[in-house]
Amino acid sequence: MIKTFARLCQRSAFIMLSCLVLVLPAQGQTVAESIGPTADNARLRMIVLGSGGPGATGRAGSAYLVLLDNVPRVLIDAGPGSFARLGEAHLSVEQMDIVLLTHLHIDHTGELPGMFKARAVSSDGDIQFHVYGPEGRSGKRGNATFPSTTRLMQLLFEHNGAYAYLKNFSAPMTIDAHNLSTLIRPNPQAKVIFTDGELKISAIAGHHRDAPAIIYRIDYAGKSITFSGDIDASGLPDLQKIAQDTDLLVFNSVVLDPPESPEILYTLHTPPKAIGQLAQSAGVKKILLSHLSQAVDHARPEVELSIRSAYPGPLLFAEDGLWATP
C-alpha cells in the first residue's frame, strides 16, 4: 500500500504537491492541539510562535498569536525567531492590529521590527497598531534601565528611529502606544485596556525583578486565555486576580523547584510547585507551560509531578508551532 501511494505521489508535480504529510503530535498533545484546532470551530485559539527563553536552544523567543474567529488579531510578545515561525504557520497578519508586550527584555521584543514589517507588506491599506506594555524605569540603585513602551516605539519606528522607514514603507503606519503605568500600584486590580465587540483585554501588573512587567487576559466568545509573562512568585497574588477561572493559562516556566535552580533565578521566575498551587487556587481550566528553559525541558516528568501535587487539570508543554484552544 505504501509503495502504491509513493508511485502516485511521483506521477506529477501536481500530485506531489497534493500529497499530505501527517505529523504525529508530541507526547501530551492532542492532534487538534498539534496541527490546529479547526475541526471544533473554536472562536478563540492561539498558535505559539516562540516557546523558548533567552538562550539559543532551537526555540524561538516568547511569542503568541491569538486568532478570533480564525483571524489572526493579537500578538503577545515578539521574541527572536518568531518572524520565521510566523512564516512557517502560513497565516495572514493583514488584520493583526493589537500588540501586547509583557515586558521589554530582548527575548520578548527582539522581533518587533520584523513582525511590524510582516504586517506592513501584508496589505496596501492604512495600518494602525494598538501597542500596550509597561512603563519605563530608570536604572537607580544598580537596577537596569528600561524605556517605556511609548519610548521604545519612538526609538524603533518614529522620526530618526532605527526603523523609521517602516512608517511609510508599504502603507501608512500609525502606532498608538500605551504605557500601562496606572497598573503599577499597591494591591492593583485588573483593568480592562481594550474592547472591540466581544473582545475584551485586561491587564494587571506583574513582577519580574527590576523589569516592569504586565500580565494580560484575553476574553472572547465566552472563553479566555491568560498570559503570565515572566513572573516571580511574589507576583502570584496579582496573577490570581486576573487569571480567576481562566480557560487557558500560559505560564512561563524557567526554574525547577528550589534548590535545583540558581538562587537568583527565583527572583525572576516561578517554580513548578507554586505554578500548580496558583492554578488550583485560581480555578484555571488548563495550563500551557512555555518560555521553557533547558532545565525544565529536560526535567518534564519532575516538573509535571510537582505541578500535579496541587493541580489535577490538563497540562501541556509548549513547542514552536503548537496550536492551543482554551
Per-residue pLDDT band at 187 (split at 50, 70, 90)? low
Alpha carbon distance 232, 91 (integer Å): 33
Give the pLDDT confidence score for residue 280 in this predicted structure. 97
**pLDDT above 80 for 265:** yes
Give the pLDDT confidence score for residue 186 in this predicted structure. 56
**Mean pLDDT along residues 153-166:** 91
Closest CA to 198 of 325, 71, 64, 283: 71
How does the average pLDDT of the chain come out, rounded?
Answer: 85
Look-up: residue for cell 497540562? 315
**pLDDT above 80 for 192:** yes
CB 212 within 8 A of CB 250: no
Give the range among 47-51, 69-73, 159-163 with minimum mean pLDDT. 159-163
Beta-carbon contacts of 30 under 8 Å, excluding residues fewer than 6 positions away, are none
DSSP 26: P
**pLDDT above 90 for 212:** no
Per-residue pLDDT band at 56 (split at 50, 70, 90)? confident
Give the pLDDT confidence score for residue 6 in this predicted structure. 40
**pLDDT above 50 for 286:** yes
**pLDDT above 90 for 68:** yes
CB 285 within 8 A of CB 314: yes
CATH code that applies to domain 28-324: 3.60.15.10
CB 282 within 8 A of CB 243: yes
Alpha carbon distance 36, 30 (integer Å): 10
Strand-by-strand arrangement of the 199-208 sheet = 191-196, 199-208, 211-220, 223-227, 248-252, 287-290, 315-317
Most confident of 76-90, 118-132, 161-175, 266-280: 76-90
**pLDDT above 70 for 17:** no
What does the block give as the cell for 127?
A: 495600518
CA–CA–CA angle 30, 31, 33 (5° rounding): 65
**pLDDT above 70 for 125:** yes
CA–CA–CA angle 13, 19, 25 (5° rounding): 145
- What residue ranges do the domains of the chain occupy? 28-324
DSSP assignment of 76-98, as one string? EEE-TTHHHHHHHHT---TT--E
Tell me the torsion sign for CA atoms 103, 108, 109, 113: negative
**pLDDT above 50 for 277:** yes
Per-residue pLDDT band at 269 (split at 50, 70, 90)? confident
Instruction: Count CB neighbours of 246 within 10 A.
Output: 24
CB 249 within 8 A of CB 286: yes
**Mean pLDDT along residues 50-68:** 93
